[in-house]
Structure 1
Amino acid sequence: MELGQCEHLLLQRENGFLSIYFDRPHVRNAMNLEMVRELSRVLMAVSESDEIRAVILRGSGGHFCAGGDIKDMAAAADRSRHAEMGADEDPFFELNRAFGDLLCLTDRLPQVVIAVLEGNVLGGGFGLACVSDVALCHVEARFGLPETGLGIPPAQIAPFVVRRIGLTQARYLALTGLRFRGREALRLGLVHRVASDEAGLKAELEAVCEGIRHCGPQANSVTKRLMLQVGQVPLETLLDDAARAFSSCIRGEEGQEGTRAFSQKRKPIWAEPPPSS
């Protein structure tokens, strides 16, 4: 799988896991439009690959992501002042909607998405945490939706926050700009595990990755797709789709290997440790 060169991301592949580090530490990994486009391009390539089983999102320099780059927004404002534009040429719309597309792409990625949250997890970083399948955080990670304090709404983020933690809590956080740390994120259901130090966070990540290795990649992909349809399609339609998916999987190569391995009391081939080089 060819991922190409990135200016704002660091990519590391190991045994079917792709770690993507946001790499703008001088602005605490705040996202500009170029970074959003790079991440979208990488995730699109991943979505079409059978080589990657999980994506790990994290930040370099001790921070996950401080949200949108305010300087990038200011540059968009400058462009709007110096040009007469139609609705489809609005740089604010382009910047904001591109991030919404990224959230949708991340949310629907066939692979498991793990977010490792440290330092600032604000605005757009908060949104990315909300579309992860598994979220792990350092106890001192700092969460918040600061947009309304800047006089703007968390426009693309809000629907995913509501879905993650519920409307009541989402309103409270967005309309007050409250900042909080890891244990409160766990209580809200934003994250799944909290670690007190770097070693603990590494151990939590290793445990999650080990669990994923024991799950059939195709089964995980199908399961994720079915779960995302809950509330989006009628229940009877969803159950029909689920039954067809079950039949297809159990007849397929992965399902046959999994059931055969269970009968033979051994690990399926996807759970075997990779050969040492």
Structure 2
Amino acid sequence: MATLPECETLKLEQSGSILHLTLNRPDSRNAMSLAMVHELRSVFAAIRDDTGVRAVVLRGTGGHFCAGGDVKDMASARGQKAEDGSDPIFELNRAFGHLLSEAESAPQTTVAVLEGVVMGGGFGLACVSDVALCLESAKFGLPETTLGITPAQIAPFVVRRIGLTQARRLALTGHRFDGSEAFWLGVVHDFAKSGEELDQKLEQLLERIRHCAPHASRMTKELLLSVESEPLDALLDKAARDFAGAVRGDEGQEGTTAFMQKRKPSWAEE
């Protein structure tokens, strides 16, 4: 099992194969500081090869998910002098883009649980999750253009999540919307009317994840993420090789045997 890094802006708790990763800057509604970006990247790097972690649950403290980028960090970067040709604002923004790419490609199944404000960078983080749940009362939006800036690193992931035409509407109007509209848009996969219902839906989801074979889930996520970038014939060739290996592998043999014996496979956690 991987050693998790020490974090000041995150709370980490592992329950069996589930890592609960909680944004923990409640005084700023969990705004995404550069320190938080670095810590999130460190956590995803630490668990990347850890097959003992099958799912990551992203959540926020204080009743909010994330209010977006930390304006104080932006102001500080603007006041810094560029050294060696580097631009502090560019580095700050690009680091968040690296985080989104790394979170999206994490081999674990990532689950975003969204409450309160889900703005800007928080919205982007929600868009790279594999499954997203929210409270109906949650408030979503891309407010960057109302602040005189652009959703630079977030935009590609939003487009992939909900399509170009809706992304244009949200980004170019600063439209804010609740959890039911987020569900209609495809940002989230389900929503709840109360915190108790949200927790119930999360536990039901995690139970389903626990019943999926860990290695097969990793291979499946890699396959799905390759659809947009790989030539179809090459992708299908690789998929067939992976399938053959899976059928002959321990998980494939155990899964088919368990099915025929009408029992749960060995990886299914209670």
For normalisation by structure 2, the TM-score amounts to 0.98
Aligned position for 1:3: 4
1:175: Cα distance to partner?
0.4
What SS does the corresponding residue of 2:20 show, helix, strand or coil? strand
Cα distance in 2 between the residues matched to 1:124 and 1:84: 24
Give unpaired runs (5+ residues) of structure 2: none
2:138 maps to what in 1? 141
**1:210 aligned to 2:207?**
yes
Q: Out of 163-172 and 253-262, give the one that drifted further.
A: 253-262
Aligned-pair identity in percent equals 59
**d(CA) in 2 for partners of 1:153, 1:16:** 38
Provide the aligned C-alpha RMSD in A: 0.9
Q: 2:112 aligns with which of 112, 115, 118?
A: 115
- Cα displacement (A) at 1:235: 1.0
Structure 2 matches for 1:160-199, cutoff 5 A?
160-199=157-196
Paired residues of 2:5 and 2:42 also in contact (CA < 8 A) = no
The CA distance in 2 between the partners of 1:226 and 1:272, in whole Å, is 24
Contact 2:65 2:117 in 1 (8 A): yes
Give the distance between the partners of 1:229 and 1:76, measured in 2 at CA: 35
- Number of the residue aligned with 2:27: 26
Cα distance in 2 for partners of 1:85, 1:46 equals 33
Contact 2:135/2:192 (8 A) holds in 1: yes
Cα shift readout 1:66-121 (whole Å, capped 9, x = no counterpart): 11000010010111xxx35344x211111101000000001000010000000000
Q: Following TM superposition, where does structure 1 have runs of at least 4 consecutive aligned residues deviating by more than 4 angstroms? A: none
Task: Could you tell me which runs of 5 or more consecutive residues in structure 1 were left unpaired when the two chains were aligned.
Answer: none
Q: Is the CA contact 2:82–2:88 (under 8 Å) kept in the aligned structure 1?
A: no
Q: CA deviation at 1:4?
A: 2.3
TM-aligned CA deviation for residue 272 of structure 1: 3.9
Change (3 A) 1:195 1:84: closer
2:16 aligned residue? 15
Taking structure 1 as the reference length, the TM-score comes to 0.95
Give the Cα separation in 1 of the matches to 2:94 and 2:172.
Answer: 21
The alignment covers a number of residue pairs equal to: 269
What does residue 77 of structure 1 align with? 78
Q: Which amino acid aligns with 1:21?
A: T
Whichever residue aligns with residue 118 of structure 1, its letter is: E
Give per-residue Cα distances to partners, 1:225-253, cap 9 Å, x unaligned.
Answer: 10111121111111111101101111111
The amino acid that maps onto 1:51 is: G
| Distance (Å, rounded) in 2 between the aligned partners of 1:168 and 1:46 | 35
In the alignment, does 2:67 pair up with 1:59? Answer: no
- SS of equivalent to 2:113: strand
Give the Cα separation in 2 of the matches to 1:22 and 1:155.
Answer: 22
Q: Deviations over 1:177-233 (max 9, x none)?
A: 000000000000110000000110001101100110110011111111101111211
